[in-house]
Structure 1
Amino acid sequence: MKPINTALCSFGMSGVVFHAPFIDVHPGFNLYGVWERTKNNAQAKYPNVKTFRRLEDMLADNNIELVVVNTPSVTHYDFTKQAINSGKNVIVEKPFTATVAQAEELIQLAKEKKVTLSVYHNRRYDSDFKTIKKVMDEGWLGNIVEAEIHYDRYDPVLSYKIHKETPTAAVGGLYDLGSHLIDQALVLFGMPNAIYADMDTFRPNSKVEDYFDVKLIYNTHRVTLKSSYYVREVLPGNILHGTKGSFIKSKADVQEAALQAGKIPGTQDWGAELDKEKGLLHTEKDGKIIREYVPTLNGDYMAYYEGIYQALRNNKSVPVSATDGMNVIKVIEAAIKSNKEKRVLEL
């Protein structure tokens, strides 16, 4: 079957690390083109790739079937809209858009143009998240009462990426790191009934929020999503307590580091964490208390691109729908409003 000619809207960190390696390795895709205004970095690494200097020229190329919008988040709505109007299938990086209204417009436009639209929420394929979901699905924890998901780091220096530190639409910790945590929470628990959010800015000279503590309120349980740039001592990234037991697991997915080191996806032991990062399960079975470390499933970002291939070639559902991406933005908008008004906000 003919490979899917795919074009990237940029060849920065996202293109180099999260997209090009998988498109290049997967036999169902062909890395056809990259939009680079002045450089030829993509062609240097992938000699057969076609370099475009203008987005309009890339979108006018009828050989391209799939476009990846992996540019700064403030551009997602505009570039995705242009790609859809050009008749291209689109993968758009998280966060999907700045507003729910923009997301709804793009979803409707994709239906009208009869093209596929998906949001790249790759953290569904992290090793820790896959393992947590398996533990929950197998019923080891009973009914969840409380869960915490963290995305912490120690990095008080402002990013060299100016677009991440400029207070424009879809910029800030909640849109950036928060998108990952919210999507994971919605996969595990669905949409909450209400939200309470506390957000702030702690790094010197920072103009965007770099701390958040978001409470997702459900009828039967609570979920806390947290992130800070001032966590020098690493804490467990995932803490779940249920009616039968608890599961505590670090955030230790190795895929991003492997990709940054130039490793090829799909090689032996791809996505395998160190043995010391096993999660602790403390529960009971058949009246017996169990406290043991659970083997971690391998991370697998290739599963996202395999899902896209199946959607475009075999009419399957996309691995992450545009509606999923929009629901993340719904939570973000509600969290921003909750923080501003200092109150619990019902959804």
Structure 2
Amino acid sequence: MNEDRRLDVLRAIVEDYVATREPVGSRALADRHALGVSPATIRNDMAALEEGGYIAQPHTSAGRVPTDKGYRLFVDRLSTVKPLSAPEKRAIQGFLDEAVDLDDVVDRAVRLLAQLTQQVAVVQYPSLRRSALRHLELVPVGERHLLVVIITDNGRVEQRTIELEAPADEAVVARLRIRLNVAAAGHRLADLDEVLSGLPDAFALADEKLVRAVVGIVEETLAEDSEERIVLSGTANLARGGGMDFAHTISPVLEALEEQVVLLRLLGEMAEDAEAVSVRIGRETQHEGLVETSFVTTGYGADGTTVARIGSIGPLRMDYPGTMASVRAVARYLSRILAG
């Protein structure tokens, strides 16, 4: 059997099943696609694809549907990810450019991706420990409190308040602010422990307690698990069409989506290359609640460095080329905003 023709038949089956939700037969393939062979030859190719586990017969009709293995081969053999149209690109850029801060950027991105794909969109907040420090600000609040503001290169802002045993000397606070930024600005946050460790020795003994308190609060902030945050949008899209994309019920999917640790694990396992689009299909997610879904993700970040991931979750019967294009496009605009 011709290998290229078999792939053409599989591609046609996937495209028709995605479009119609109905099992696909050889006659329909011959009528809808210029495969250049007879329905009998297509039936032979379909029989070989079924024997190889790439398609299956859901019931006694003559139609076939792709399996997880068939979707995987289809995705792996996509020669290119089709680009979005110029109007779509302008709409994405215009919508995201109106964001006023990082929270707004993430919120707009997740809603936009859900709208583009009509699936569940997932955006992971930029990881604090993968970011670099842009500026560290110290702001006295009253006599005995000091506000520590950490601003990263990707626009993330973290604020912590220190309660002081005695009023802080404003000159000492100003000097500490300068020394902190000279020593730490531009460094990756994961490296700040070492960068800041010797800072207390540069101050008078009387000021050492304040300096250690500020350094300590910065280190504690970087160590907090709360940095791993994700935002979801479009869960209602899973129920469109009466949930016909799922064999039984969408409840296991919704329960899995509620467990952020599951999504964070998947995001962490998928490719680190900011330019790569990764796809987990069905059981490849290694979570029982997601066996009837596929997860398409890619990374985003400034200067080609992945600081977080963005993705789309939908049924196995999804428009893979379209979903991959949308995920990649929104990720690229996110990266441009962070780099700006």
TM over 0.5: no
TM-score, normalised with respect to structure 2: 0.26
Identify the structure with the greater helix proportion: 2
Choose 1 or 2 for highest CA Rg.
2
